[in-house]
Amino acid sequence: MVDRGFTYYIPPFMIRSGVVDGVMSFSEMEGMMYKIEGEDLYLIGTSEHSMIGKFIDTFLEESELPQTLTSYSPCFRKEVGAHGIEERGVYRIHQFEKQEMIVVCKPEESMDWFGKLLQNTIDFFRTLDIPVRSLECCSGDLADLKVKSMDVEAWSPRQQKYFEVGSCSNLGDAQARRLSIRVKNKETGNYFPHTLNNTVVAPPRMLIAFLENNLREDGSVAIPVALRPYFRNKTEIR
């Protein structure tokens, strides 16, 4: 992601309620976030909230746009409503790590950035020899603040179906309005930027797709070329 122009950011792992209210709806928060007793703090369910929250109550110079950040962090989720086969194993867990990316940009550029963010995730999974597809969410399935959202899904040979490994969202100016993030423009007047986010990779789900799609009949696992430098140039796991 750094090679693709993003700045690496180490986010706070706890955020205040003012940021929570700005980045998501109450119904989403209730089903996802852990609150710390006696404190105005929540454990992050995803680092995109910390990264967007970094800009709360700020005026950005137009020349500073776009802001493109990426982070790798622990995440904590209640996973309320999780059920079925994914309850066991690593598909849905209360603590995991994830790499996320966010963009703060001019309104007219947000749809172009949406396509770029989505492609970053698709490119990543394809280097691991994992078949993926993208699925656009219908309007009735969108969270309250989202303008457009697409899931990236990986193929599961075990289940014989695709499953979600990431989600790319354009939130328009909804988060910027709630968090009071503004951009200075002397000619046309100040305005609210658009914000976007996308999952680069959540390793637990990537691990499922990696093992299932690279598993051989004899029980060994083929190591894709992109990962071999991290395995001391081995070509397989036995």
Give residue-wise pLDDT tens across range 155-180.
Answer: 999 989 999 999 999 999 999 999 99
Which has more pLDDT, 236 or 95? Answer: 236
Burial class (CB in 10 A: 0-12, 13-18, 19+), 78: middle
* pLDDT tens-digit readout, 11-39: 999 999 889 888 887 667 777 889 999 99
pLDDT, averaged across the chain: 91
Mean pLDDT of 97-104: 95
| 7-237, CATH topology level | BirA Bifunctional Protein; domain 2 (3.30.930)
Unique residue bearing structure tokens 């993208």: 134
- Give catalytic residues, as residue numbers: 77, 92, 164, 167, 205
Is residue 182 predicted with pLDDT exceeding 90?
A: yes
Is residue 220 predicted with pLDDT exceeding 60?
A: yes
230: which residues sit within 8 A by CB, 6+ positions away?
none
* pLDDT tens-digit readout, 119-157: 999 999 999 999 999 999 998 888 778 999 999 999 999
Q: Which residues pair with 169 in a beta bridge?
A: 149, 197
Q: Encode the chain in three state secondary structure.
A: CCCCCCEECCCCCEECHHHHHHHCCHHHHHHHCCECCCCCCEECCCHHHHHHHCCCCEEEEHHHCCEEEEEEEEEECCCCCCCHHHHCCCCCCCEEEEEEEEEEECHHHHHHHHHHHHHHHHHHHHHCCCCEEEEECCHHHCCCCCCEEEEEEEEECCCCEEEEEEEEEECCCHHHHHHCEEEECCCCCCECCEEEEEEEECHHHHHHHHHHHHECCCCCEECCHHHHHHHCCCCEEC
* pLDDT tens-digit readout, 221-235: 999 999 999 999 999
pTM: 0.89
What are the residue boundaries of the structural domains of the chain, listed by start?
7-237
Q: Residue 143 has what pLDDT?
A: 73
